[in-house]
Amino acid sequence: MKKYFIIHLLFACFCLTVVAANADEVAGERVELSYKVIRIPGPGSNQIAVWIEDGDGNYVRSLYASKFTADGGYVRRPVSLSEWVEKSDWANASKEEIDAVSGSTQTDGEEVTLIWDLTDKNGKKVAPGKYIIRMEANIKNEKKMFWSGEIVVGDDSSSVAPQTITYSESGLENGDQLFKDVQLNLVQ
């Protein structure tokens, strides 16, 4: 009996040590990003990338990138999602990362929901703090629209901050839009 008590006590101590070692990681939350796609006719459009940066602007991971660009289309068409390609250092992405992120071009009218499980590109849970979710979309060749939303995760202060849409040049906000109705939610 004493032997089993000691074994259970040692196991409990081990579990508490593991929990304490991971206490600074975010647990029990996920981020959902949803938007509606409005396809734009013609070449040089319909490319979208979604990625995460930490509060200091460091790349954390990608959630989605249109297959054409993610599979190397940015080499043939350098304007294709150029900000994402540079920020993510996509030229050095592993095959596993490319396969996990790349998806076919999203269809017109499609309601898309992407989930971030609060891990980085290596699958490690991120620390509590501020994160920026970013979207880049090619409207037509070098003409682009961007979206960004800030979220604070972890601790007891999880929150979603206001989000913004910007454009690569003025006047584009009155023309074609590749995505709309963007929603960012923190789910417990």
pLDDT tens digit string along 100-128?
A: 999 887 889 899 999 999 999 999 999 99
Residue 62, CB-side half-sphere exposure with 13 Å CA sphere: 29
Determine if the pTM surpasses 0.75: yes
Task: Give the count of beta carbons closer than 10 Å to the beta carbon of residue 35.
Answer: 23
- Examine the pLDDT at 81 and tell me if it is beyond 50: yes
Model confidence at 156: pLDDT above 90 = no
Q: Which helix (H) or strand (E) holds 99?
A: helix 95-101
pLDDT of 18: 35
- Of 134, 155, 131, 156, nearest to 145 (Cα)? 134
Phi/psi zone of residue 126: left (φ > 0), alpha (ψ -120 to 50 degrees), beta? beta
Tokens representing 5 are 């008590």
Q: In whole numbers, what is the pLDDT of the chain averaged over residues?
A: 84
